[in-house]
Every structure is written in C-alpha cells, then in structure tokens.
Amino acid sequence: MDFNIIECVLLAIVTFIFAIDQFSLTEIVYRPIIACPIIGLILGDVNMGLIIGGTYELMMIGNMPVGGAQPPNAVLGSVVAMIFAVKAHMDTNAALGACMIFATFGQYVVTVMFTIMSGLMAKADKAAAEANPKGITAVLNISMAGLGGLFALIAIVAYSAGVGMSDTLTEISKNASWFMGGLGAAGGMMRFVGFAILLKIMLSNDLWGYLLAGFAFALILGNIPATSSAALILVAFIGIAIALNDFLTTSKIKENAGSGMGGMSDGI
C-alpha cells in the first residue's frame, strides 16, 4: 500500500491537537468517539471511524487521569487502532486489542513528559510571583508544544509502520489465525471491562433498577423489526425522560421546602 504524505501530515496535525486537548483545551475532542471519525475522514473510511470510536469509547469510558496517575492513553490508542483497521485491514476487535499495547506506551509517554515539565514549574512560579503573565504563557506553550510534537511524531511512525506492514499483517492473519483470534477476543472483552470500571465508580444500589430496565428495553426494542434499527436511541430517550422527571421532581421538592410550604393539609 502506498504511503500518502497528505494523510500522514493531516494525521500528525490532528494528533498534535488531540494530545494538547487531553489536558489544556476542551478535554472532549480527544475522546475516541470524536477523534476516530476525524481520523477516519483523513484515512478515507469514516464508517470505520464511527465503529472504532464508539467501541473504543466504551473501553476507555471509565479510565480517567487522576493527578499524576495516567490511564492507557486514548489518543495513541485511537490513532493506532484506526491505522491498523483502515491501512492494515485488521478486524475491528483485533485492531482494538493490538492498539492497547500502544495506548499503554502512551501512558508512559505522558508520565515522562510531565516529569520533564516539572522542572519548568519553578519558572512558572517565578513568573507568577513577578506578575508576569507572558512568562507563565511561555511555560504553558512549551509544555503543549512538547507534548503535541511528541505525539505527532509517534503518529507519523505508527502510520509509516502500519502502511509498511500491511502485507505482513495480512499474512499473519492468514497463517496465524490463532494470534489474530486472540487479539480479537481481547479487543472484544475490553469494552465490557471499560464499562465495568465506570459502573464500579458510579453505580449505587438505588440505580440497579434503572440499569436492569435499560437492558430489558434494549432487548425488547432490539427484537422488534420496526424499532430494532434505533433501539439504542430509543432507550436513550427513555433514560433522558426518566432523568428529566427525577430532576424536575427533586427541584420542585427543594423549592417547596425552601419556601416554607408543605406540612399537614386537609384535602387535595
């Protein structure tokens, strides 16, 4: 497969932006559900971007950085998964399983970068003490340029390797199907692991009913021909309706409690 310089340059640019966005911009655009379709547009397969992005988001949904503790990096994982799926023609689950190696590598890249940048914090403190906003801005720009440039370089290497090894990976998938099958099983499992991490953090005992009801609605609507194609959207609408009702009811109760209304009354 031919190396496309335009794809490579555009991929490096968006990876640079995603790397900065993790910590300094919107903190939304870098998420796989948004980043992968953008990468898919660059690589010429938006549909694959939507598939990889939605699946990878489930894998990473419960993994959030807390202080200096970094989870497997979503940016590098998204880039490598898309390159493997589009350029090396790997199965979706196999691409997601393989990308976790690079996502874990990205975890250490961020940690090393933060360690290096800690040496510049003294300059930022000095600029703050001197009321010098330009000095603080310079430190921030150096930090963002360093992180973004490093990620962009890794994206270029990953793209070059993915294009160069496409035939080799195709041969491996044919001659070592057990290996690709293992990666596919791992990738298929990781989405449930990511969602389980999220549930462990968020789920409380009084929400189990809603969780089970959501599964029930998804199964029912998914097996009705007229609603099967939009089952998840319909379940989401039901969830939004329940959430709005709970919010409005709770707000009304608090409003009445604050106004001194309520208490004993006769009749309706």
CA distance 74 to 110: 11
Structure-token pair, residue 221 = 């609507």
Give the pLDDT band (50/70/90) at residue 176: low
Q: What is the pLDDT of residue 109?
A: 83
What is the pLDDT, as a whole number, of residue 207?
78
Position 183 scores a pLDDT of 62
Mean pLDDT (the chain) is 81
The answer to which of 15-19, 74-78, 90-94, 134-138 has the lowest mean pLDDT is 90-94
- pLDDT greater than 80 at residue 31: yes
DSSP output for 155-187: HHHHHHHHHHTHHHHHHHHHH-HHHHHHHHHHH
**pLDDT at 264 (0 to 100):** 54
pLDDT at 65 over 60: yes
Q: Is the pLDDT of residue 254 over 90?
A: no
Please tell me the distance from the alpha carbon of residue 57 to that of residue 77, in angstroms, as a whole number.
Answer: 11
End-to-end CA distance of the chain: 76
Radius of gyration (C-alpha) of the chain in whole angstroms: 24
182-197 burial: b if 16+ Cβ within 10 Å, else e:
ebbebbbebbeebeeb
Domain map of the chain by residue range? Answer: 5-202, 203-259
Q: Count Cβ atoms below 10 Å from residue 90 Cβ, excluding itself.
A: 27
**What is the per-residue pLDDT across 93-141, written as a single tens digit (0 to 9) for each?**
878 888 888 888 888 888 888 888 888 888 888 888 888 888 888 888 8
pLDDT digits (tens, 9 = 90+) for 225-237: 888 888 888 988 9
Of 186, 167, 150, nearest in space to 73 by CA: 150
The secondary structure of 86-104 as a DSSP string is: HTS---HHHHHHHHHHHHH
Provide the whole-model pTM: 0.70
Average pLDDT over residues 216-222: 88
Distance CA 57, CA 74 (A): 9
